[in-house]
Structure 1
Amino acid sequence: MTSSSRKQSAPAGTWTSPISAAVVAAGAAPLSQVMLDGLDVCWLAGRASEAGRTTLLRQRGGQVEELTPAPFNVRTRVHEYGGGACLVKNRTAWFSHYADNRIYRVENGAEPVPVTSGGERRYADFTLDGQRQRLIVVREDHSTGAAYPVNTICAIGFDGFETVLVIGADFYAAPRMSPDGRHLAWLSWNHPRMPWQGTELWLADIAADGTLVNGRLVAGGENESITQPEWSPGGVLHFVSDRSGWWNLYHFADGVVRPLCERAAEFGGPHWTFGGSLYGFRSDDEIVCTYIQDGVSRLARLSTRDGKLQEIANPYQEIRELRVNGDTAVLLGGAPTIALELARFDLANGTREVLARSIEQLPDSGYLSVPQSISYPTSGGMTYAFYYPPQNADFEPLPGEKPPLMVIGHGGPTGMASSTLKLATQFWTSRGIAVLDVNYRGSTGFGRAYRDALRGQWGVIDVEDCVAGARYLAEQGLVDPERLVIRGGSAGGLTTLNALTFHDVFKAGASYYGVSDLKGLDADSHKFESHYNEYLIAPQPEADRLYAQRSPINHTDKLRRPMIFFQGLDDKVVPPQQSETMVDALRARGVPVAYITLEGEGHGFRKPESVVRTLEAELYFYLRVFGIPLPAGLAPVEIENLPA
C-alpha cells in the first residue's frame, strides 16, 4: 500500500479506484440456507452467469458437488420472499424448483425426480418424517380462486400424495418434528400481524394414522414474536421469544416455559424468509448460538443446565445462519474486511475452515473503508449507524476539503444495516465519498421497543433518523454540510424522497424504484404484506389521511433538490408511474432531474449491465450537481434543468 506521505491530493469523488462499477456488478455470489447432513455440508449458491439461478451444493470429503444442475433453480415463492426451499437428510435432497413449483428428490447424485405435480401450489420449510415416508411442509395454494392463497401445513408422501395437517390460520412456518417422531411443533399467525409482531407456537401429537391430535398452544400471542422452534437431541422443545423485549432462548419442559439466558440481546430475527437458523445443539447440555448485541453478532456456547454463555472466538461481526451437529458448526459470516463466506468450525479444537466465499478476489485492504459503529441523538433517544470514512491507498482529500456524505436507508423497513464488506459501499468510499448506513428506529437488532418505535411512524421517524445522522457528522466536522446526499431503494426510496421533500438538510438524492405513493403500494400488495401498512402507518380509514400526508407524490411542490431516479420498466411492486410522476413534477418546476429506465428489470436490478449503468450514472449526477471535475471515461447522463 502506498504510504500516506506519497498519496496524491485530489477532489473527493474523483479518486481512481480498483473497485469499478464492473467489479461491483460482478459482485458477490449469493450464499444461503446452510445445512448439515452428518459430516456433509450443504448450501445454496447463486449463479449470476446462469441467469441468476440458485443451485444446491454439497461438500463431502473435501470435494464439492452440485446436486441440482441447470436448469434447476432451487427457490420457492411462498410468502413471495421464499426461503426454506430445500432439505438434505441421509444423503437425499428434496427441493422446490422455481420454474414449476414442484418438489423434486435427488438421491446419490442421480438426476432430480419430481415428487409433486406442481401447478399453483408452492412449498417451503421442509421437515422429514422418515417413519411415515413423507415430508411435512408449509404449503401455499393459489389454485382456490380466492383473493389470497390458502396457507396450510401439509404432509407430502414420497409418492406425492398430499394431506393437510393444519389449516385455519392465515400463515404457518417452521413445522418441526420431535426426534422420536411422536410430536410436531409449528408457528402460526394471522392478519393483521406480521410475524415479528405476534406469532403462536403450537404443539400436537402425531396419531398412528399420521394425523395430528391434541393440539395445544405453548406460547405466543398478539404481542409476542416467536421464531425458530427446535427440538434438542433428547426431545425438549426450544424456541426464541421476545416476551422480555428481546429475542431470547426458552425451552418448554413439563408443561412450563422457562428462559435459558435472559439478556439484552437478539438471539433471533424477523421472519421474512423460511428456514433461518441462529442456534443448534451440540448436545442436550450445550447450545451453540449467535446473538446480536450493539449491532454486532457474537458466537457462543450456552449451557442448558445453568444458562452460562461463553463466547467462541471468531472473525465475524455478522452471522446470518448457523447449523450445529456434534462438534461441527457451520455458519454464514462476514466482517468489515470479509465478504460473506461459509465457514466450518471444529468445536472440539477451535479450528475454522472457509468452504465458500461470496467474493473470491477482494480488493487490496488499502482501498477498503472499515466502518465505525456510532450512535447519535434523535427525537426518540439514540439511533445507530455505521459510518464509513473515505479510504484509498493512493489518494487523500485536497487540503482543507471535507468529503461529501452519502446516507443510506435500508429497506424492509425492519431490516438491519450490517458491517459486512459490501463492494457497493466501497465503490463510494474509495472515491472519496463518506457513507452513513443507518439503522433507523424500526430496525432489527436493538430490541422490541426499538423495532416497535416505527409503529405508525413509517415515513417520519426513519427520515428523522437519517437527517439527524447527516447533521451529526457535519457537526462533528467529519463531512461537508453543503454536500450531503441520500439514496435508497424501494422502502428506502420512500425514506429518501421524504427526506428531500420535507427536510432541507440533503442537497441531492437518488431513488431506486422508490415508493412515492403509499396508496398505490397498498393496492398492489400480496397476502403476506397486505396488512403491513396498518402497523407501519395506520388501519383504515385513518390510513388514507396519513397516506396523503406522507406520500411525496402529493407534495412535489416542496421538493426542490436535484434528484436522479432509476426505474425498472417491468417493476410490479413499485410501477414506473410512481417514478415518472415525480420526474415530471421536478421537470416542470425547473429542478435538476435525471431519469434512467431499464428494460427487462423489475423490483431490484439483476443484470450486470444495469448495475454498471446505475452506479456510474449516479456518480456522474453527483459530480455534476456539486461541480466536481468529471473523471475520464465516465458515461454522460442527461440532467434536465441543470445549468451548464
Structure 2
Amino acid sequence: MTEPIRKQAAPCGTWTSPISAAIVAAGAVPLSQIALDGDDVLWLAGRASEAGRTTLQRLRAGATSELTPNPFNVRTRVHEYGGGAYTAQGGTVWFSHFADNRLYRVDEGGEPVALTREEAVRYADFVPDSARQRLIAVREDHLAGEAYPVNTICAVGFDGVETILVDGNDFYAAPRLSPSGRQLAWLCWDHPRMPWQGTELWVADIAPDGSLVDGRLIAGGLDESICQPEWSPDGLLHFVSDRSGWWNLYRFEDGVVHPLCPREAEFGGPQWNFGGSMYGFSADDEIICTYIEDGISRLGRLSTKGCNLTPIETPYQEIRELRVSPGRVALLAGSPTIALELALIDPASGARTVLMQSIAQLPPVEELSVPQSIRYPSANGRSAYAFYYPPANAHFEAPAGELPPLIVIGHGGPTSMATSTLKLATQFWTGRGFAVLDVNYGGSSGFGRRYRDLLKGQWGVIDVEDCVAGARYLAEQGVVDPARLLIRGGSAGGLTTLNALTFHDVFKAGASYYGVSDLAGLDADSHKFESHYNEYLIAPKAEAQAVYRARSPIHHTDALKRPMIFFQGLDDKVVPPQQSETMVDALRARGVPVAYLTLEGEGHGFRKAESVVRTLEAELAFYLRVFGIPLPAGLPQVEIENLAPYQAA
C-alpha cells in the first residue's frame, strides 16, 4: 500500500509548484466553432507555432485531417470579435481567410479557391443555399466611406457575384435558412443597443429570383434579447429569448410564440461572437441543450411536446458550445479538473469520446485546486457570485495558524462570465499557497437579465463593490488572511482593480494589466460594435463627461495609496501606455510603492510566451516583497520604487 504524501509546512506564497510560469505561457490550444457535416466532425484549432493562425480540422472515419493548410487563417473580424468563420455541407467547406477577408471554398480533395475579391469587405455567419448556388452571410462593408462600416445580410454566389438581401439596420446576425429553403430567419438590432439588450427576430419568404419578400417581425424589441434562431427538421422556427428575465427556449408555430421550458436558467448567452450554439435538434420533437444555473453548465434533453427537461450526466461544469445530430452531440466543454476539450457524447447512454484536448498533459489532480461556487452578500442588500479556489499543493501546506493571502479577480467584458473550467493561470497561484476568488459581479451573464442589468449605468461601482464584498466575506469566514488581500485584473478588469484600490481600503496591493484608468479614452478608440456600449455601462453621452471623470481613477490618483504593479504593452491601441504611465507617475511622486513593466511588441493582451513568463513571475515577486516574504530561489527580482519607506512605516 502506498503511504500518503507527508506535506511540508511552508509560508504561503513560497510553495514549489509543478505549474510554472513557462507552463502557463505554453498555454492551451484554442478550440472553437464545432460543425457536423454528415458523419464528419469539424472544428477550429489554434496553432501557436504558426504565428497563432486558426486552422480547420476534420474528423472522418476515425482520422483527423487539416482542411486549411498554412498560411490560411480561418477567422473573421466582423464586429471585430468575429466567430462564424466557416460552414460545411456535403463535404464542401466555405471559410473566411483573416489575412485578406476573402471567402474561400474547399471542395472534396481540393485546395482553397477564392470566391470574393480582395477588398475591405468582411463576411461571417454563413449558411449554404445550395438550391440557389450561393452562400448567405453577414456582410460588413468598410468601403462605403462612412464613419463606421455598413452591415447587411448578403448572398454570395458560388460564382462570386454578391447580392444584398437585407439592409437598413446597424447590425445583423444568424441568418438561418428553413429546411424547405423557402424562408430565411435573421436577427438585427440598432445603436445604441448591444445584442444582449434588445434584438429583433425577422422571417421572410424567398422569392423565385432569390430575393426576400414579406418580411415580418416574429419576436424581440428594445428590451428583449433574442439569440440563436434555429429551424427544427420539420420546419418550425425556434429561438432563445430573455422576455421572462431568463434566456429560455421558445417555438414559433401558427403565428404564436410558445415557451418550451420556463426556468430560471440561461439557455443562451451574450452574442459577442457569431455562430454560438447552445442547443440543437436530435429529432423533430427533441432538443439537446445546455443551460446555466448558478454559474454551472448542464446538459439536457428537452421534449418539445411535453416540455420535459431531462438531465444528461456529464463530467463538465462549463459547456461552451454544442452541435447536435441524431444519436450524438459534439461539444466544447471543461470542468475544474478538465481543461477545455472537444468531445462526442451519446445522449442515450452518456458514453463520451474525447476528440481533442486543449492541454494534452495536465498536472496531477492532487496539484489542482477545485473551486467552490459561492453566493455571498454585497452592497445594498444584493448578492454576488464567485468561484473560490483554496490553495492546493500535493507537497506543501501552510504552517499552523497561517491563513493564505487572497487574490481577487474581476473578469473582463464586462458583460461576460467567469467559469470554473481548468485554467493554469489560476492554478499557478493556488499551487503556491494563494487563495483565489474569481468574481461574477453584478452585470455578469449567466444569472438572468436582472443580474446582468445591475451594471447598467454602474460600471466601476457595482463590479468594485462585489469584489470588495467577496474579499471581506472570505476574511470574515476565517478562510483567508484579512491583512493580505490582493486584487488583479486586465483591461475592463483593470478598471475594477484600480477603482477598488482607489475608492476602497480593503485590498493591500494590486496588479493592473493594461487596465483602463481613463474612461473617456475608450470612446475615442471604440469600433462600431462597441461605440455606444458605454452609454449602457456608464451614462448617455450628454451626461457622460461628469460620470466618466468621477469613475476614472486617473482623475483620483491622490486617493490611491496601496502598492501596485502595472503591466503595459507599448503597442496597445485600446488602452494606450499613457493611461498606465499617468498612474505610475502619481504613485511614484507620492512615495507609494510601484512597479512598472513595459513590453515591446505587445498590444492589448500579451501573446508572447516570454511576456507571460516575465509578467507572472514579476507579479509573484511583487506580492512576496510587499508582504515581506522571502523570494524562492530562481524567482527573478522586480524593481519596486518606494518599497523600503513603505515597509518601514
TM-score (norm 2): 0.98
Q: What amino acid sits opposite 2:424 in the alignment?
A: L
Kindly provide the amino acid, as one letter, of the partner of residue 100 in structure 1: D
Task: Evaluate the alpha carbon distance shift between residue 523 and residue 63 of structure 1 in structure 2; reply closer, same or farther with a 3 A threshold.
Answer: same
Structure 2 counterparts to residues 396-475 of structure 1, below 5 A = 396-475=397-476
Number of the residue aligned with 1:357: 357
- Taking the TM superposition and a 5 Å limit, the aligned residue runs for 1:459-538 are 459-538=460-539
The amino acid of 2:274's aligned partner reads F
Instruction: Give the conservation status (yes or no) of the 8 Å contact 2:5–2:394.
Output: no
Partner of 2:106, secondary structure, is strand
Asked if structure 2 preserves the Cα contact closer than 8 Å seen for 1:103 and 1:118, the reply is: no
Match of residue 395 from structure 2: 394
5 Å matches for 1:169-208? 169-208=169-208
CA distance in 1, matches of 2:594, 2:119: 45
Counterpart residue number, 2:145: 145
Indicate the SS of the match to 2:187: strand
Alpha-carbon distance in structure 2 between the residues aligned to 1:103 and 1:202: 26
- Distance, in Å, in 2 between the alignment partners of 1:474 and 1:255 is 55
Map residues 54-453 of structure 1 onto 2, 5 A cutoff: 54-379=54-379, 380-453=381-454
Q: Can you list the C-alpha shifts for 1:466-494, whole angstroms capped at 9, x where unaligned?
A: 00000000000100111100000000000
State how far apart, in whole Å, the 2-side matches of 1:45 and 1:158 are. Answer: 26
Q: Report the AA paired with residue 166 of structure 2.
A: V
SS at structure 1 position matched to 2:343: strand
Q: What's the offset of the Cα at 1:218?
A: 0.3
1:262-294: CA deviations, max 9, x gaps?
Answer: 000000000000000000000111000000011
Runs of 5+ unmatched residues, structure 2: none
Instruction: Compute the displacement of 1:3 (Å).
Output: 6.8
Shift of 1:108: 1.6
Measured against aligned partners, the alpha-carbon deviations of 1:112-166 in whole angstroms (never above 9, x if no partner) come to 1111112100110000101000000000000111100000000000111110000
CA contact (8 A) 1:3 1:393 kept: no
Aligned: 1:595 with 2:610: no
Question: Distance between the aligned counterparts of 2:296 and 2:425, measured in 1?
Answer: 20
Relative to structure 2, which stretch is displaced further, 105-114 or 296-305? 105-114
Deviates more, 1:104-113 or 1:229-238: 104-113
Tell me how far apart the structure 1 counterparts of residues 641 and 510 of structure 2 sit (CA, whole Å): 15
Q: Counterparts of 1:553 and 1:450 in 2: how far apart (Å)?
A: 28
Rounded Cα–Cα distance in structure 2 between residues aligned with 1:489 and 1:522: 18
**Distance 1:4-1:462 versus aligned 2 partners, 3 A rule:** farther
Once the two structures are superposed, residues 528-551 of structure 1 have per-residue CA deviations (whole angstroms, 9 ceiling, x without a partner) of: 000000000110221111000000
Deviation, structure 1 residue 457: 0.3
* Distance verdict in 2 for CA 1:5–1:132, change over 3 Å: closer
Q: Distance in 1 between matches of 2:409 and 2:175?
A: 37
Amino acid at match of 2:422: L
The one-letter code matched in structure 2 to 1:354 is V
Aligned 8 A contact 1:2 1:394 in 2? no
1:605 corresponds in structure 2 to 606
> SS in structure 1 opposite 2:643?
coil
Q: Distance in 2 between matches of 1:261 and 1:45?
A: 34
Task: State the distance in 1 between where 2:131 and 2:597 align.
Answer: 56
How far residue 2 of structure 1 moved from its aligned partner, in angstroms, is 9.5
Shift of 1:351: 1.3
Q: Is the 8 A contact 1:2 1:393 kept in 2?
A: no
Please state how far the C-alpha of 1:347 moved relative to its aligned partner.
Answer: 2.5
CA distance in 2: counterparts of 1:423 and 1:562, whole angstroms: 26
- The DSSP-based 3-state class of the residue aligned with 2:355 is strand
Q: What SS is found at the alignment partner of 1:428?
A: helix
> Which runs of no fewer than 5 residues in structure 1 stay unpaired?
none
Report deviation, 1:109.
Answer: 3.2
Between the aligned partners of 2:210 and 2:442, the Cα distance in structure 1 is 45
**3-state SS in 2 of match to 1:453:** helix
User: SS of the residue aligned with 2:35?
Assistant: strand
> What SS does structure 2 have at the residue aligned with 1:643?
helix
Letter in 2 for 1:421: L
The letter of the residue matching 1:500 is: L
Superposition pairs of residues 545-564 of structure 1, within 5 angstroms:
545-564=546-565
Q: Give distance in 2, aligned partners of 1:419 and 1:277.
A: 20
Quote the Cα distance in structure 1 between the aligned partners of 2:2 and 2:488: 32
Matched residues in 1 for 2:334 and 2:409: separation? 19
Q: Distance in 2 between matches of 1:119 and 1:437?
A: 42
Q: Give 1:349 shift.
A: 3.4
Q: CA deviation at 1:111?
A: 1.4
Question: Structure 2: how far apart are the matches of 1:371 and 1:450?
Answer: 22
- Name the SS of the counterpart of 2:566 in structure 1: strand
Q: 2:180 is aligned with what amino acid?
A: D
Q: Distance in 2 between matches of 1:621 and 1:110?
A: 54
SS in 1 for 2:443: coil
Q: What amino acid maps onto 1:61 in structure 2?
A: A
In structure 1, distance between residues paired with 2:41 and 2:613: 34
CA distance in 2: counterparts of 1:562 and 1:342, whole angstroms: 42
Q: Is the 1:176–1:184 Cα contact (8 Å) retained in structure 2?
A: yes
The amino acid across from 2:634 in the alignment is G
Q: Tell me the C-alpha RMSD between the 2 structures.
A: 1.1
Give 2:445's aligned amino acid. Answer: T
Shift of 1:5: 6.8
In structure 2, distance between residues paired with 1:242 and 1:187: 14
- Specify the code of the residue in structure 2 equivalent to 1:626: F
Give, as a single letter, the amino acid of the residue that structure 2 aligns with 1:571. Answer: D
CA contact (8 A) 1:416 1:444 kept: yes
Deviation for aligned residue 1:350: 2.7
Which amino acid letter does the alignment assign opposite residue 254 of structure 1? D
For residues 487 and 206 of structure 2, the distance between their equivalents in structure 1, rounded to whole angstroms, comes to 54
Question: 1:553-632, aligned counterparts within 5 Å?
Answer: 553-632=554-633
In 2, the alpha carbon distance for the partners of 1:579 and 1:90 equals: 52
CA distance in 1, matches of 2:4, 2:455: 44
Quote how far apart the aligned CAs of 1:332 are.
0.5
Q: Deviations over 1:225-264 (max 9, x none)?
A: 0000000000000000000000000011111111011000
**Matched-pair contact (CA < 8 Å) for 1:494–1:516:** yes
What letter corresponds to residue 244 of structure 2 in structure 1?
S
Whole-angstrom CA distance in 1 between matches of 2:551 and 2:218: 40
What per-residue deviation string (whole Å, max 9, x for no partner) do you get for residues 378-404 of structure 1? 125210000000000000001211000
Distance in 1 of aligned mates of 2:387 and 2:67: 39
Q: Give how far 1:522 is off.
A: 1.2
Q: Distance in 1 between matches of 2:197 and 2:532?
A: 12
Deviation string for 1:39-65 (max 9, x for gaps)? Answer: 110000011111111100000011000
Structure 1 residue 637, shift from structure 2 partner: 1.3
Displacement, 1:27? 1.3
The 4+ residue runs of structure 1 with deviation greater than 6 A are: 1-5
CA distance in structure 2 between the aligned counterparts of 1:350 and 1:472, rounded to whole angstroms: 39
Q: Which amino acid aligns with 1:243?
A: R
- Equivalent residue letter for 1:272: W
Conserved 8 A contact 1:174-1:274: yes
Deviations 1:289-327 (A, max 9, x none): 000011110100000101000000110000000100111
Q: Deviation of residue 4 (structure 1)?
A: 6.8
Q: Would the aligned equivalents of 2:571 and 2:601 in 1 still touch at CA under 8 Å? A: yes
Alpha-carbon separation, structure 2, partners of 1:486 and 1:41: 41
